[in-house]
């Protein structure tokens, strides 16, 4: 029998199929063989696949083979469970809803989607999120409205109406028993084939995952750099689609340069946004300035910050709030700069490229806005806090 950490055995003769693969000018012939389990243990890596060093030599002959086990569905399930328990994942997944199975699971090993889902192999899907704070969903309705706008732009008709999807999301959080964390949800063109358009799909699919988070992100300062990765064109930048490769590459580029994230500029050279957060500035005249939303994602947290900033105007800490074009020069000369989004809340920026922002320290306005959002998450009005019954 196959073990969780590895499988015992050697390849029997009589491979069922063979494929030739060109590799650096030569051919590597891969045979898919049956496995007879005996006393010789061949280790698996943490992902459950064969360690190449233990089964394969560099491709020098056409008759090189690698033995692959044919797994039953129970063995696949067991290996998925072992993969999860190995610590390969660094987040706590508390529950998942899938319209494919029509229910919720609390077993992370079962939190899977079909490989032929067009969200997987074509990026034809959209998503959104909502924070879970003290047993309440924060800004669920605001995020759900944006979710449906994205669905329309992506030409995906939801399988349920808004009210039903909202109920599914709240009930999934309830089943998870998670009172602090994050709710993420996706709408895909659905599974059915590996073609380009969803004309052969069975229909759109709706998924949701609840992730436990033990603490809020820290409002500590960071460095950013100007991204050299091209920004998505407007049609796609205002849509929260699952096609995040430019965002990923921008973030990776920044990390390679010792920075937290990259900052995108639009085609006219104005400040746009970060890879998954908005940007805001405090001018030397104490005005809060945020780039226009017409070419970037309409951030729910950023819009809430704009609303709550009125309190800082009332007590004199801010002189005004403006949404408009922001030049790089204006941004780098600002008194404060900050990143805003559900994943960071409000995060001060201390340095942009080689330029320190203000005095190079966390500023009072960024901290005040962070505190206002956290207070809003914990005790805000019913328009932004939806109670969950556990």
Name the residues annotated as catalytic. Answer: 240
Residue showing tokens 């409205």: 145
Confidence of residue 88 (pLDDT cuts 50, 70, 90): confident
- Max CA pair span of the chain: 82
The predicted-structure confidence for 19-45, as pLDDT tens digits, reads as follows 333 333 333 333 333 333 333 333 344
Give pLDDT, residue 64: 72
In angstroms, the CA 327 to CA 291 distance is 9
In angstroms, the CA 35 to CA 313 distance is 72
Give pLDDT, residue 6: 32
Residue 145 contacts by C-beta under 8 Å, 6 or more apart in sequence?
none
Instruction: Quickly list DSSP for 131-194.
Output: EEETTEEETHHHHHHHHHHHHHHTT---SS-HHHHHHHHHHHHHHHT-SSEEEEEEEES-SS-S
**Res. 337: pLDDT tops 70:** yes
**Res. 70: pLDDT tops 50:** yes
Instruction: Look at 328 and 58; give whichever has higher pLDDT.
Output: 328
pTM value is 0.83
Contact 7, 51 (CB under 8 A): no
The whole-chain average pLDDT of the chain stands at 87
Confidence of residue 380 (pLDDT cuts 50, 70, 90): very high
Average pLDDT over residues 238-252: 97
In angstroms, the CA 337 to CA 333 distance is 9
């Amino acid at each position: 029998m196959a073990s969780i950490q590895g499988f015992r055995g050697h390849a029997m003769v009589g491979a069922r199929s063979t494929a030739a693969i060109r590799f650096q000018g030569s051919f590597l012939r891969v045979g898919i063989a049956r496995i007879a389990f005996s006393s010789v243990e061949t280790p698996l890596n943490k992902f459950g696949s064969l360690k190449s060093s233990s089964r394969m030599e560099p491709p020098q002959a056409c008759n090189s083979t690698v033995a692959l086990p044919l797994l039953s569905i129970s063995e696949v399930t067991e290996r998925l469970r072992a993969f999860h328990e190995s610590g390969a994942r660094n987040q706590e997944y508390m529950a998942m809803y899938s319209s494919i199975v029509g229910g919720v699971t609390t077993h992370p090993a079962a939190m899977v989607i079909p490989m032929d889902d067009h969200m997987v192999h074509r990026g034809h899907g959209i998503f959104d999120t909502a924070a879970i704070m003290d047993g309440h969903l924060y800004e669920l309705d605001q995020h759900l409205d944006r979710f449906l706008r994205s669905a329309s732009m992506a030409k995906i008709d939801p399988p349920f109406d808004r009210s039903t999807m909202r109920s599914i999301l709240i009930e999934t959080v309830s089943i998870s028993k998670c009172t602090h964390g994050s709710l993420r949800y996706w709408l895909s063109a659905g599974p059915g084939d590996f073609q380009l358009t969803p004309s052969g799909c069975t229909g759109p699919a709706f998924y949701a995952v609840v992730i436990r988070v033990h603490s809020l992100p820290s409002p500590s300062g960071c460095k950013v750099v100007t991204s050299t990765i091209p920004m998505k064109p407007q049609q796609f930048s205002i849509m929260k689609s699952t096609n995040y490769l430019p965002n990923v590459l921008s973030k990776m580029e920044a990390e390679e340069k010792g920075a937290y994230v990259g900052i995108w500029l639009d085609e006219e050279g104005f400040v746009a946004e970060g890879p998954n957060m908005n940007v805001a500035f405090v001018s030397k005249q104490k005005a809060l300035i945020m780039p226009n939303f017409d070419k970037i994602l309409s951030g729910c947290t950023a819009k809430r910050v704009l609303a709550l900033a009125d309190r800082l105007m009332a007590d004199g800490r801010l002189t005004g709030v403006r949404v408009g074009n922001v030049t790089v020069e204006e941004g780098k000369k600002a008194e404060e700069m900050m990143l805003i989004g559900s994943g960071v809340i409000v995060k001060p920026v201390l340095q942009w490229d080689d330029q320190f922002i203000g005095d190079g320290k966390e500023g009072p306005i960024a901290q005040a806005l962070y505190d206002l959002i956290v207070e809003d998450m914990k005790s805000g009005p019913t328009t932004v806090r939806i109670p969950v019954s556990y």
